[in-house]
Chain A
């Protein structure tokens, strides 16, 4: 049976959506990342301008389940481009989908803030190359706004 993406209209369908952004490693790597592969699209590399999106396929959605946190997201497949804007700095980066993730349901309700500016739920993971364009890697997690690029 094919699972539908969400019972509600995707939050990102008509405009930007706000959520949390983190970073992840993929491709050839050192340390704990060395066991990581090239991602669901087979192209993911930490040094490339790429990201993971929770709804790249039915199988992906079944793992990430942002709908369990009350968030519907559009189906976007490998290579689709999103713009991620850090709410802390206003700096943005455009990246292409290379993997399925983050696992939104495991962090349901989590909130990140910059002062009074906050965003809920993990909606996107960037590669280190991409994340470091909008924030220091040492921040680990930031509130952001995501739109189609």
Chain B
């Protein structure tokens, strides 16, 4: 079975829109990075093949990201890169101001060739303070987060039961985990999944 890394490598070598030509980067190109096996990361230390931060600008297929620790990251999106923003999306959905986590392969020049980019993804736990048909008010570590139900996107998973778009089983004061997409510079989140223990 081919690994995702193999598929990405093929995508890079295959060229196409959004892929920088190998000849432009020589041995520093993403194809070279994907061809190598990532070394094991020392537990407890930063993973060089991972990045977090907010998008400052977008130039062609490259995201310029300022990490929350004030370290800049240059993240290249290639044909095989998966992007998530409340669900699978295209590269055109990445916007300046979006927060992100990205995993890929760090190239010798410091650029991250991305296998996956999760835009604005949050995974927060808290208890429900109020609930309507369209919103959940979540108390997350003493801060209120307004979570929006998005038609066709939001689902609830009650323990091992299949995901359901019916969120009516959720109750005030119940503790839940909400996976969703943050609305930048607000305390609001669009709901992808509500995990409920019962």
Question: Interface on A for B, CB 8 Å cutoff?
Answer: 22-25, 27-36, 43, 45-50, 79, 81, 94-96, 98, 102-103, 106-113, 118, 128-130, 132-133, 136-138, 140-141, 149
Interface of B is mostly: strand
B57 at the interface (CB under 8 A from A): no
Residue of A nearest to B102 (CB): A132
For the complex, is B116 an interface residue (Cβ under 8 Å from A)? yes
- 10 more CB-based (< 8 A) A-B contacts, given A24-B125, A46-B52: A25-B123, A35-B141, A111-B159, A129-B46, A130-B47, A140-B123, A140-B195, A141-B157, A141-B177, A149-B43
Cβ of B26 to closest chain A Cβ, rounded Å: 28
Whether the Cβ atoms of A129 and B47 lie closer than 8 Å is yes
The stretch that binds A, out of B5-13, B15-23, B164-172, B186-194, is: B186-194
Chain A binding surface, main DSSP class: mixed
Question: Could you jot down 22 A-B contacts, CB within 8 Å?
Answer: A27-B69, A30-B182, A31-B120, A32-B140, A33-B122, A35-B141, A43-B44, A47-B46, A106-B197, A107-B175, A109-B198, A110-B195, A129-B46, A129-B50, A129-B103, A132-B103, A136-B84, A137-B101, A137-B121, A140-B123, A140-B177, A140-B195
Q: What residues of chain A lie closer than 8 Å to B143, measured between beta carbons? A: 32, 35
Q: Is B107 an interface residue (CB 8 A)?
A: no
Interface size on B, residues (CB 8 A): 48
* Chain B residues within an 8 Å CB radius of A130: 47
CB distance from B136 to the nearest CB of A (A): 13
| Given A112-B160, A140-B123, A94-B43 contact (CB < 8 Å) | yes
Shortest Cβ distance from residue A85 to the other chain B in the assembled complex, whole angstroms? 15
Q: Is the CB of B133 closer than 8 A to any CB of chain A?
A: no
Min CB gap B188→A, angstroms: 10
**B118: which A residues are within 8 A, CB to CB?**
136-138
Report chain B residues within 8 Å CB of A113.
Answer: 160
